[in-house]
Structure 1
Amino acid sequence: MRSGRTAWLTASLLLGALSGCERRTPPPLPPPQVGFALPVRADVTLKADEVASVTAVNSVDLVARVPGFLTHIDYKDGAFVARGTLLFVIEQSPYRTKVVQAQGGVAAAQASLLDAKSTYDRLLPLAAKGDTSKSNLDAAKAALDSDAGNLQQQQANLAQAEINLSYTQIRAPFAGMVTTHLQSLGELVGASGPQTLATVVETDRVHLTANISQSDVAAVGPDPRALLGRHVQVRGDAGGVVLIGTIDYVAPQIDPGTGTLQVRALVANPGNTLMPGGFAHLSLPLAPIRRALLVPTQAVFQDELGAFVYTLAHGGRVRRTPVTLGQADGADTIVRGLPADAQVAVSGLGRLSDGAQVSVTQAPAGARAP
Structure 2
Amino acid sequence: MRTIRLIAALAALAPGLLQAADSPALETAVAEYRTLPREYRLDGIVEAVNRTTVSAQTQGRVEEITFDVDDYVEQNTVVARIKDTEHRAKVAQAAADLKSASARLLQAREEFERIKGLYARKNVSDSAMDKATADLAAAQAELDSATARLEQAQEQLDYTQIRAPYSGIVTHRHVEVGETLSPGQPVMTGISLDQLRVIVDVPQSAIASVRREPQARVYLPDGERVETDRITVFPFADLGSNTFKVRVELPEGTPSLFPGMFVKTGFVVGVKDELVVPRAAVARRSEVTGVYVLTDEGHLILRQVRLGRELDDVVVVLAGLNAGERVALDPIAAGVAIKTQAEARRAAAENGHD
TM-score (norm 2): 0.65
Separation in 1, partners of 2:34, 2:212: 27
Cα shift at 1:217: 4.1
Amino acid at match of 1:128: A
CA distances 1:150-184 after superposition (whole Å, capped 9, x unpaired): 11111110111011001000111111111343222
Q: Judge conservation of contact 2:41–2:267 (CA < 8 Å) in 1.
A: yes
1:195 aligns with 2:177: no
CA distances 1:189-238 after superposition (whole Å, capped 9, x unpaired): 22xx3211110111232111113345544445xxx2752xx463332xxx
Matches within 5 A, 1:1-370: 41-190=33-182, 193-219=183-209, 224=211, 227=214, 230=215, 232-235=217-220, 239-244=221-226, 246-251=228-233, 253=235, 255=237, 257=239, 258=241, 260-268=243-251, 273-289=256-272, 292=273, 294=275, 329-330=309-310, 332=316, 346=320
Cα shift at 1:329: 4.9
Cα shift at 1:272: 6.8
Give % identity: 25
Separation in 1, partners of 2:266, 2:217: 6
CA 1:253–1:75: 2 relative to 1, 3 Å = closer
Separation in 1, partners of 2:122, 2:202: 86
CA distances 1:13-42 after superposition (whole Å, capped 9, x unpaired): xxxxxxxxxxxxxxxxxxxxxxxxxx9542
Q: Judge conservation of contact 1:54–1:209 (CA < 8 Å) in 2.
A: yes
Amino acid at match of 1:60: T
SS in 1 for 2:173: coil
Q: Judge conservation of contact 2:234–2:246 (CA < 8 Å) in 1.
A: no
Separation in 2, partners of 1:245, 1:115: 71
CA distances 1:268-324 after superposition (whole Å, capped 9, x unpaired): 5759732323322112334344xx25599xxxxxxxxxxxxxxxxxxxxxxxxxxxx
Q: Judge conservation of contact 1:247–1:263 (CA < 8 Å) in 2.
A: no
Amino acid at match of 1:211: D
SS in 2 for 1:277: coil
Q: Judge conservation of contact 2:274–2:316 (CA < 8 Å) in 1.
A: no
Counterpart for residue 10 of structure 2: none
CA 1:41–1:107: 2 relative to 1, 3 Å = same
Cα shift at 1:241: 4.6
Greater Cα radius of gyration, structure 1 or 2: 1
CA 1:231–1:282: 2 relative to 1, 3 Å = closer
For structure 1, the 5+ residue unaligned runs are 1-38, 297-327, 335-344, 348-361
Counterpart for residue 9 of structure 1: none
Amino acid at match of 2:41: D
Cα shift at 1:259: 5.2
For structure 2, the 5+ residue unaligned runs are 1-30, 278-307, 329-354
Cα shift at 1:58: 0.8
CA 1:95–1:254: 2 relative to 1, 3 Å = closer
- Calculate the aligned-residue CA RMSD, in Å: 3.2
CA 1:256–1:98: 2 relative to 1, 3 Å = closer
